[in-house]
Structure 1
Amino acid sequence: MELTEFEPDRTLPGLLLDRARREPDAVALRYSRGGVVRVLTWRMYLDRVRELAFGLVAQGVRHGDRVAVMSGARPEWVFAALAVQSVGGVVIGVYPTNSPAEIEQVLVHSEAVAFVGESETELAKVAKIAANTPDLRLVVGIDVAPPDLPEGITGASWDDLRSAGDLDSLAELIAATTLDDPAVLFYTSGSTGVPKGVTHSHRTLQHAIQSVVGLYPECRTARHDVVGFLPLAHVAPAVLLVFTPLHTRLVVTFCPIEEYGQVLRAVRPTVVLWPPRFYEKLAAELIAQAESWNGIRRVAYRIAMHVGRRMAERRWSGRRASVLLRIAYAAAVRGVFLPLRAIHGMDRLRVAWTASAAMPESVVALWQIWGLDLRENYGLTETGGCPIGQFGQPFPRPGRIGREFPDPRFQVRLADDREMLIRAPLLFRGYWRNPSETAAVFEDGWFRTGDLMERTPDGDIRLIGRKKDVIITRGGKTVDPQPIEIRLRESPLIEEAIVVGDGRKYLTVLIEPNAAAGAELAERLRAELDRVNADLARVEQLKDFRVLPRPLEASRGERTANGKVKRAAVVDSFAGLIGEMYGVDDDAAIADHVRRPRR
């Protein structure tokens, strides 16, 4: 079936049931623990889900109930999700890094009746706040039994939850759920207020899956391998690693994030969809490796980079490379770049994708020079998948996010204020029990993305900014700087605070001190940062600060006429000061490597 013709006819657990019946002994997924890789077939996968589903039913979980899962990327997250959905419930991903207060907020807002945690760390967090969650009735530990819990909340181990049940009764249980029932709640970061539960149904998730399949069309008919280590509470890893394999021949090897390097080398994936920071990190390591070479290897690499740059320039300009250049480049890829990429298990990849944050053009360029067709796509929690991507021309010019997914139901429109509006069948069903927020982001069926865009002359989409004053870090985390700045300005030492970090690995802050701040300012300001950081999530914490050498001025464009700070202008005015807080960024090293011949 063509992607443009797709319309789902089974719920997600229904797909699992069909797959296990059709090819029970085929490899469904793999997982690595301590360097040992184990294989699970579709029959084994279904058995785990069946046991857990009836265990949940025995514990009182019913159709429509919400169940939270908090763990790293591992098969148990997948089994729990499909078991919850088999009962007709809604799975909620909780980040392992979430604080007890953040967990409480999600459990209370979603009215979750059950919580599944991985280890003592996660279970201790939920035990700390369990008394404040009126709907919570069950806590399950994957690796260990839960600690003591308040009266009325049952604690159970993973093995305790597994129960008897047969395939016929599971099929009957699954049949009670419809395609338009809620399947997953993905909670936003709360960057623009209280976190919102983005509700995706079985139908919207399957349209999201089809857009992901559009990134790697061959995975419908031929086996592809991917390494799963990113948190499954985030929409992109969940769609790619948990749900896409149900529709395709994609095989995931799950591993703890601390093992991902060695597992990459062992698996040599054929599918990758990462935030920019992973491409950047690996590129920086491979540059260091190449620059450590001596003799003939160093000369060969220098020549290969010269050839690769020329090839990249031809591609981006739309000019056809000469026969001689194509032959030279093929030799450079085979003889130099593929062995270099193999150091990190990246040699089997032909096409790779990035999303969730702005990708430095130099990083895209370098991987393309090295022969990897690295492309960008665009998606949000509310879209589930990628309604926009560089689906067509190989080795596209960096700096664009492509065009609409090739299905006429996927549409993009430019609002009068240049905001990008999207209409597509993968759009979420609304924010969980928040009709006012849902209504605020829809206009006649068009979803307001909050991103500003423009069309290039050849029809591609380029992002040019955001309507809301938020920061997106290099890792794709969205942070609202204003509450942090308000906390800082509570200090009598601080007149103004401007949090920065858009496209960076972490947040820092520029501080305009109070004129009466007095002596030992730097030390006292550090204490103020520590005070504010103590109440912030890790991604929001400020790693460094600089004191502005002068007050912000409206005449320089740094403030509006009524005194409001213009963040972009401040970042431009004090770029050097900001640069000091980040040192020599991988970006700069990679950009230099792309531009200049190495001697």
Structure 2
Amino acid sequence: MNLTHFEPARTLPRLLLDRARTEPDDVALRHWRDGVVQAITWRSYADHVRDLALGLVAQGVRRGDRVAVMSGARPEWAFAALAVQSVGGIVIGVYPTNSPTEIEQLLTHSEAVAFIGETATELDKAAAIAAQTPTLRLVIGIDATPPALPKPIKATTWKALCEEGAQRADDGPDVLDELVARGSLDDPAVLFYTSGSTGAPKGVTHSHRTLQHSIQTVIGLYPEIQEREYDVVGFLPLAHVAPAVISVFAPLLTRLVVTYCRIDDYQHVLRSARPTALLWPPRFYEKTAGELIARTKTWPRLRRYAYDAAMWVGRRVADNRWSHRKSSIPLRIAYAAALRGVFLPLRATAGMDRIRLAYTASAAMPESVLEIWQIWGLDLRENYGLTETGACPIAHFDQPFPRPGTIGRKFPDPRFQVKVADDGEMLIRAPLLFNGYWRDPEETAAVLQDGWLHTGDLVEYTSHDDIRIIGRKKDVIITRGGKTISPQPIENRLKESVLINDAIVVGEARKYLTVLLEPNTTAAAPSAEAQSEHLRAEIDRVNADLARAEQLKDFRVLPRPLQTERGERTANGKIKRNAVVKSFATLIDEMYDTNDDAAIAHHVRSRLD
């Protein structure tokens, strides 16, 4: 595939059928379950999709219908997506952690006609709100039978539906081909619902065409996946755009082979599968790095000395890379020995020794996490994408071991353009951009103007023409003194500390900034007093580099972790700032006990009594 002249020619189901015809016995994907790996060939993949698609048709699913899938990462999610698209329908991903209320919102807004749930848990949630979803006609259970549902909604199982479809397949070998032939590249293919971190979730519509342009950028990250097999472990929720593009749709155009597994099993599967490609959110790199660092502290003394020496060498090599200097021959020899003798064996304990190039996206990565992985020899790079872009129009595509802190440059295709507006907002125009928000022309027009996507991210260019994100246009704090401050850079600096899992800077309409801290439980201090001292030291460290208006005057430790169920985190882990401020309003007020509003209100009341 020529990355600068690629233009899609076939729908996603057509890509599947062509692979099944030309490479029927090659492995398309794998599934890890209960310690057993099942390989699924392209022929078997297409057969599953055919039976399910024809079963859906038998149950009345038609072109343009929406079908929701609520499941973890497993082959059935991919089968369902391609089957729905084969019929001409649109698949909707639903996070397994979504509440019944959130499920009702998505099913009602999308006017879904069918719901596929993985276990009794998901099916019970759907049943609880089924009566409030006027278009729902069919509920399908993958591993369980749906509970009683209000009429006229019909319940069935995955197995029964596929058996019904297999009977229809006996009518002729070209039944699925005929269905697929009616599809168009510009038909809506998937509705990805936004996380809702800044408001109500919106249905982001991607077509067969835009998704394939998204795959084009994935190939830009790993050009070799066109020619040879690359292994990846798929455990992240496929309702999120990045895992879906990587794990479900990219394999249709590449040699990427996914091993699906439950999120609880991913560490064991990593060690078993030893993948060759990674694209994770920052928290997984951070968690794994923390575990590996803890492991080194248990090593015998001589091995710890060897690790310390390797880190000394690795740090100097990394500094030279970031400064665009060439390391001396003795240093390069020493680093090769450190990599082979220390770092790769350490990474092997997490199943990450075969990976040479990895990416992170979806949130800002603490620079210290990028640094440690690069020192350990993993070429870890940030990239940039939104639900609205499908994949990554901006990344360090051809910049090995980039200095932490930037997201790279635009994709090397002249149709991919990036510009910075007068107020610093990054605008993107590219063929992977979404087709609009589902049945919401006003919101679409607000962010998609003259073909340019208004990302909402404030950026700047470095001296080397890389792009650096400096904050969110709407995610800013305006203090009582009129100072406009982007909280994310401050929060990212705090999260570089091994003591801090998350930080939420607050101060809207207040005289100064404060911060709520969610501590890292694996690095707990021996007492609350010691923890407070250590956290205060981290805040002092960050404050030293901040302007006066940006400095944090006080902090509080959250009494519990932030929870998705309470609306404080989105389904993919992002913090919902307004919800956190509401949940912990009393804790926040403690840090502003002498604020003017409270003092004046108390004064007025006391005078009126």
The structure-2 alpha-carbon separation of the partners of 1:498 and 1:179, relative to structure 1 and needing over 3 Å to count, comes to: farther
Query: Which TM-score applies when normalising by structure 2?
Result: 0.81
Contact 1:99-1:537 within 8 A present in 2 as well: no
> C-alpha distance in 1, partners of 2:399/2:157?
50
For structure 1, the 5+ residue unaligned runs are: 490-495, 506-524, 560-599
For structure 2, the 5+ residue unaligned runs are: 477-486, 496-501, 522-557, 598-609
SS at the partner of 1:60? coil
> C-alpha distance in 2, partners of 1:536/1:242?
29
Residues 51-130 of structure 1: matches in 2 within 5 Å? 51-130=51-130
Greater shift, 165-174 or 335-344, is seen at: 165-174
> C-alpha distance in 1, partners of 2:304/2:210?
51
Letter in 1 for 2:421: A
Q: Does 1:417 align with 2:423?
A: yes
Contact 1:50-1:167 within 8 A present in 2 as well: no
The structure-2 alpha-carbon separation of the partners of 1:534 and 1:3, relative to structure 1 and needing over 3 Å to count, comes to: closer
Cα RMSD after superposing both structures:
3.1
Q: Alpha-carbon deviations, 1:118-169, whole Å to 9, x = none?
A: 0000000000000000000000000011000000101000111111215411
SS at the partner of 1:152? coil
Matched residue, 1:450: 456
SS at the partner of 2:397? coil
> C-alpha distance in 2, partners of 1:259/1:445?
42
Matched residue, 1:379: 385
Percent of aligned positions with the same letter in both sequences? 66
SS at the partner of 1:345? coil
Matched residue, 2:361: 355
> C-alpha distance in 1, partners of 2:174/2:217?
32
Q: How far 1:552 moved relative to its partner?
A: 7.1
Q: Does 1:332 align with 2:338?
A: yes
Q: How far 1:192 moved relative to its partner?
A: 2.6
Matched residue, 1:7: 7
Matched residue, 2:394: 388
Letter in 2 for 1:439: A
Matched residue, 1:407: 413
Contact 1:404-1:412 within 8 A present in 2 as well: yes
Q: Alpha-carbon deviations, 1:297-316, whole Å to 9, x = none?
A: 11211111110001001100
Contact 1:376-1:400 within 8 A present in 2 as well: yes
The structure-2 alpha-carbon separation of the partners of 1:244 and 1:7, relative to structure 1 and needing over 3 Å to count, comes to: same
Q: How far 1:469 moved relative to its partner?
A: 2.2
Letter in 2 for 1:303: A
Matched residue, 1:570: none
Greater shift, 187-196 or 313-322, is seen at: 187-196
SS at the partner of 1:149? coil
Letter in 1 for 2:94: V
Residues 22-421 of structure 1: matches in 2 within 5 Å? 22-162=22-162, 163-164=165-166, 165=169, 166-421=172-427
Matched residue, 1:548: 590
> C-alpha distance in 2, partners of 1:552/1:216?
55
Q: How far 1:550 moved relative to its partner?
A: 3.7
Q: How far 1:433 moved relative to its partner?
A: 0.2
Match of 1:437 among 440, 443, 449: 443
SS at the partner of 2:468? strand
Aligned positions, number: 524
Contact 1:207-1:426 within 8 A present in 2 as well: yes
Matched residue, 1:492: none
> C-alpha distance in 2, partners of 1:249/1:5?
20
Query: Which TM-score applies when normalising by structure 1?
Result: 0.83
The structure-2 alpha-carbon separation of the partners of 1:552 and 1:260, relative to structure 1 and needing over 3 Å to count, comes to: farther
The structure-2 alpha-carbon separation of the partners of 1:503 and 1:79, relative to structure 1 and needing over 3 Å to count, comes to: farther
SS at the partner of 1:5? coil
Q: How far 1:35 moved relative to its partner?
A: 1.0
The structure-2 alpha-carbon separation of the partners of 1:503 and 1:30, relative to structure 1 and needing over 3 Å to count, comes to: farther
> C-alpha distance in 1, partners of 2:151/2:205?
31
Letter in 1 for 2:6: F
SS at the partner of 2:387? coil
Q: Alpha-carbon deviations, 1:562-591, whole Å to 9, x = none?
A: xxxxxxxxxxxxxxxxxxxxxxxxxxxxxx
The structure-2 alpha-carbon separation of the partners of 1:548 and 1:83, relative to structure 1 and needing over 3 Å to count, comes to: same
Q: Which stretches of structure 1, 4 residues or more, deviate above 4 A after TM superposition? A: 470-475, 496-505, 529-547, 551-554
Letter in 2 for 1:396: P
The structure-2 alpha-carbon separation of the partners of 1:366 and 1:17, relative to structure 1 and needing over 3 Å to count, comes to: same
Greater shift, 81-90 or 436-445, is seen at: 436-445
Letter in 2 for 1:206: Q
Q: Alpha-carbon deviations, 1:8-31, whole Å to 9, x = none?
A: 000000000000000000000000
Q: How far 1:190 moved relative to its partner?
A: 2.0
